[in-house]
A = this chain, B = another copy of it.
Amino acid sequence: MGRPVNHQRRAELLDQAVEYAIEHGFADLSWRPVAAALGVSTTTLVHHFGTKEQMLETILGRLRERTNAQVGAQPSLAAAARTAWVRTSDPRQWAEFRLFFAVYGRALQEPRLFAEFLDRVVTDWMNALVDAQGPDADPASARRRATLVIATIRGLLLDLLATGDRERVQDAAEAFLAALPPDA
């Protein structure tokens, strides 16, 4: 059993596992391929993470930390939207977006793990983006605005990542961003 674990070694393996997930997605995230990519045996992974579901949960937690760090640093709702879109101009950063959207696909069939993750992440977004709209904004309408902006950007990004066709969404995305109140 994988009871006693050194947390430092575990953190090392976790970082490498997250990188593997970003590159390969959740589809082939089984013990053996991950272990081979990390240069360890499956037993080592089991020892440090326990169950495959626990490893998934741990990876998702790490992913949430990353996302929160990026969203929380945005000074305004419009800035957050622009940042997300601009980041897609570098195809090397697509992998991380891709992994994130893969969670949405999984949440449709494994709610207890992936939908729970989304629940937390979207709540985090909401809080950060409502705060970014300033303390004088009406909370209800601020939430409504944030929800709509998130949904629109998410829809555009999803189309872009799923089809790989940037041309299709570029005009619409720029029109949407240009129409956003710059400081809201």
Contacts and interface: CB of A to CB of B under 8 A. Distances in A.
A140 B153 CA distance: 20
Count of identical protomers in the assembly: 2
Contacts of A158: 104, 151, 154-155, 158
Contact of A147 (B25, B98, B107, B171): B171
Interface in A17-57: 25, 27
A175 interface: yes
A109 B98 CA distance: 9
Say what secondary structure dominates the interface of chain A: helix
Interface of A: 25, 27, 98, 101-102, 104-109, 111, 114-115, 118-119, 122, 140, 143-144, 147-148, 150-156, 158-159, 161-165, 168-169, 171-172, 175-176
Closest 10 CB pairs of A and B: A105-B105, A151-B155, A155-B155, A147-B172, A107-B162, A154-B155, A152-B152, A151-B156, A27-B109, A25-B109
